[in-house]
Chain A
Amino acid sequence: MRFRREPLFLARQSYRRRRLEDAARLLPILGVFLFLLPLLATGAGTAGQGMYLFAAWFGLIVATAMISRGLNRWPDMSHDPDEEASSHTPAKPSDPTSQDEGRD
């Protein structure tokens, strides 16, 4: 049973990481949406708009911080930018085992 658990765990980890990467890609889109929203809410005064903007801004910062920390904590299994300089392994196209599972 132990032999089955570990690969499962790793797969979950790399799945988690890819979802984090997705989130990181989506963040600026969310940011654009949030920052453009005041254009539609013309009725609110400067104070209200300002409060909203700073709240949205802060929310984005917190989300970015969490995602960045997550990306740092779950290192990319397929490649590690900090290590590639020291242990550059040439890509062997004929070696299917070195590929990570397909992008889903």
Chain B
Amino acid sequence: MTKRVLVIEDEPNIVEAISFILSRDGWAVATHSDGETAVQAVLDAVPDALILDVMLPGRSGYDILHDLRAHDLTRRLPVLMLTARGQRTDREQAERLGVNRFMTKPFSNAEVVDTLNELVPG
């Protein structure tokens, strides 16, 4: 069964890079670039894993994560957060909100793939 991942990211180049490497690994990749509609997009088709950028137009990744954790369908959804802001407080805030993994850009492609596979085994 194909594992599904939703990438919420507004930088088109990064979206393309992540899509490429995850597709290559066998993931079914969906993308979304707008923060405001992101929660609805997740709930419409709950994926097996979520890659979430922090700085998004309209709504921050933290807010989206907070809403997702409040919803039954997505309470346990594995989430990998990516941020270009590499500060400690960012990681702490993300962990408080219940993130599964947190990574700072620029990331290693292999690490992203490994992490996702770890989060969604099998």
Asked if A and B form a direct contact in the complex, defined as CB atoms under 8 angstroms apart, the reply is no
B positions within 8 Å CB-CB of A: none
